[in-house]
Every structure is written in structure tokens, then in C-alpha cells.
Structure 1
Amino acid sequence: MATSKTPGKPCNFVDHDQIWKAHINMELESAKNWPQKWGFLTESYNQAMQESSHVTHRILKLELPQHLKTRPATPPEEYLEVRPSPPVPQTTQALIGWRSAVPGLQLERYGRVQRGKNSFLKELGWALDACS
């Protein structure tokens, strides 16, 4: 049952119980009266469903214009080349970076990463320790 949330007011449990019973009775009464008042909605729905089951559905096939059609996916074998790996090193020390030593397996395919010579803080005229 619901209790009063305000700390200063006393809670009357009997009144709350009577209100709860009134709500429940209202719900039960409404459920009994619903078919008389709104039952025609279910009948019209059932009729519509029966009529739609008798009607054969025509499937319309729309053709997209050429500029809206998507091309089929290109298989990855056409644009990716997988080469064999070099032999695995004998020691764990040599294992670090063993694939990057081979020029064909390096991650930097477009050259080394270049850092900018300008600083955002210098452009704003701020002190270098302004941001941490």
C-alpha cells in the first residue's frame, strides 16, 4: 500500500486502503463494461482481417534508376594482397618488431609521421604550461 512521503503529516492507512480498493473496483467494472461500449472495434478489426486474407496481395516490383543502384561488393582478394610472413625469430628479444623490419610489412606505408612545427598554445599567445 502507498504511504505518505511527507514527514510532518500522519499517514492514515485505512483511508489509503479504501482508495486502493476503489481504484481496483473501478478497473474491474471498466473491464466488464468494455465489450458493451467498445466491442464494435474488435468486430470491425476481425472483419477487416478476414477481408484482407481473402484478397490476394499483389507484389509491386519497382525498378530503381541506374544512378541509384548500388554496385555489387568487390571481393577483397582483388585489392588486398596477403604475402607470407617472414620466419619467426628464435629468441624473444628478436621477436620485438620482427615484422616491422621487413619493408613490405611496415605500417608506415606513406612515409614517416611528420609533426607540425607550430604549437596551438604559441598561436594563441599562451604560456606553454597553460594546459597540462
Structure 2
Amino acid sequence: MPTSKSPSQPCNFVDQDQIWKVHVNVERESAKTWPQKWGFLKESYNEEKQESSKMKDKMVELDLPQHLKTRPPTPPEKYIEVRPSPPVPQTTQAFIGWRSAVPELQLERYGRVRCGKKSFLKELGWALDACC
């Protein structure tokens, strides 16, 4: 049950209770009148559900050509190799970058990341802040 908005104002519990009773009565009345106003939605939903179940029964499994069939997923163990890590250093100074010192454990396996030296904006002769 909600209380008053500010703690400095006194709360009238009788009024709060009356407001709650009105809300409950409104909910009950709308639950009673819902079938007369919106009951057709329930019937049309049931009809649509029956039609869709009939259509599912009529559907036949299609034989797809080989190039359209999906293959089962390859297990990750087939193409990912996990090697053991080197021993953990004893000091925090040696702990920083201890895995990147080993060439096999570096993140950039395919070489250094290189950015292009040309700029589309420079080629057009536009200012660098033209595309924001």
C-alpha cells in the first residue's frame, strides 16, 4: 500500500485504504466486463491456433539439395589448441606482461596491426572534421 510522498506530511490511512478499495473494485469490474468487450479476441486467437496446427500437420518435410543443408557444428577442440601456460612469476614486477613475453601466447598472432596511411577525406580535399 503506498504511503504519502514526503515523510514530513502525516499519512491518512483511512483515505489510503479507500483509494485501495476503489482500485480493487475497478479491477474486478473490468475483469467482469472484459469478455463482453474483448472476448472476440480470445475466440479468434483459438481459431487461428487451430488453423496453424492443421497447417503444421499438412506440412511435409522437404528434401533440400545438398548445398542448402546445414552441416553439424564442428567441435571447438578440432580447430582450437589450448597449451599450458608458463609458470606464474613469484613477484608482482615479473607478473606484469609475463604471458606477452612468450611468443606463442601473444594476442597478435598474425602480426602487428597496421592502419592505412591514406585518408579518404584528404583525397577529396575536405577538412578532417567534415564527417562527424
TM-score (structure 1 length as normaliser): 0.48
Larger Rg: 1
TM-score (structure 2 length as normaliser): 0.48
